[in-house]
Amino acid sequence: METVSSTEREVADIYPRMIDDPNSEEMKGMADSLKRATSNIARAQVDMFGISDEFHARMRDIKKQKKSGRFHIPFPANASVDMSESLSNSFAKGLNFYKIMLIGFVGSFAGVLFELLWCLVNNGYIESRSGLVYGPFNLLYGVAAVIITVFLYNFRNRGSFISFAGGVLVGSVLEYVCSWAQEAIFGTRSWDYSHMPFNLNGRICLLYSMFWGVLGVIWIKRIYPIMAGLILMIPNKVGKVVTWALVIFFVFNSLMTVAALTRWVRRDSGIEPFGVVGEFIDRRFPDERMERIFANMKFSE
């Protein structure tokens, strides 16, 4: 503030000379100096806001972690997990390949579990929400978990409003792209929000975009630090072997899913199987089984 007051007095002293010669080198130098000072102050204000926001967010998270009570769940704070990681030699330290893969696997399962519970509460029955032919997994949620984690990782110790905005943006874009790609490749849709208010081509809608925002906050502030803490407990050799085994399983599962969906679409169009592979897929994944797995699948007209 003293610098601002001093600059204000300095500028006031120059005004009389400006009337005589506004194009002098002195006037040009002062104008350039004020522009640089304004830009530097603006950048400093942004930086200070980030520092202040992170300090208060870390303090809130750690206070919640240390809070005690009968009904209080002591979720670990990201700051505490970061400190533990910095002191360890974990195979999944920071945000490397192994941690990203494990996050994707857990996200694929957790998303399906959440949808099953939502369907039970909202509709009164359980219905498959899987996106792969083997197991209760959906790659959409796994990819979403990875992208949200990568996108929000540097903001994990910042205020929740950033996580919410990031969740809305990332989740909505991902959901729209996946819906469009599925329809373009297979001619099918797994969800349609055309009946929902404020929807965009039936692929995304405001309500579920808000859900993505809430999920972003819950994920990076609650679920991620729990996962990171549990991963720290896995021995390095075991963790690497398990991760690669899951990678192989998911690649195989994804290839089988693509093959089964392709044959389902072709059967719907009356196309007979080609060769022993097509016949095997038809036997293993008849329409009845596919309808159970992909309960909300709709064929485009």
Residues 150 and 100: beta-carbon distance below 8 Å: yes
- Give 52-63 pLDDT, tens digit per residue: 999 999 998 888
Residue closest to 163 by CA, chosen among 220, 231, 113, 124: 220
| Residue indicated by tokens 């998270």 | 61
The overall average pLDDT reported for the chain is 89
What is the C-alpha separation between 72 and 211, in angstroms, rounded?
24
What is the C-alpha separation between 203 and 218, in angstroms, rounded?
23
Three-state DSSP state, 188: strand
- Give 136-172 pLDDT, tens digit per residue: 999 888 988 898 899 999 999 999 999 999 999 988 9
The answer on pLDDT for 301 being more than 60 is no
The answer on pLDDT for 70 being more than 70 is no
- Give 12-34 pLDDT, tens digit per residue: 888 888 888 888 888 898 899 99
Rg (CA), the chain: 27
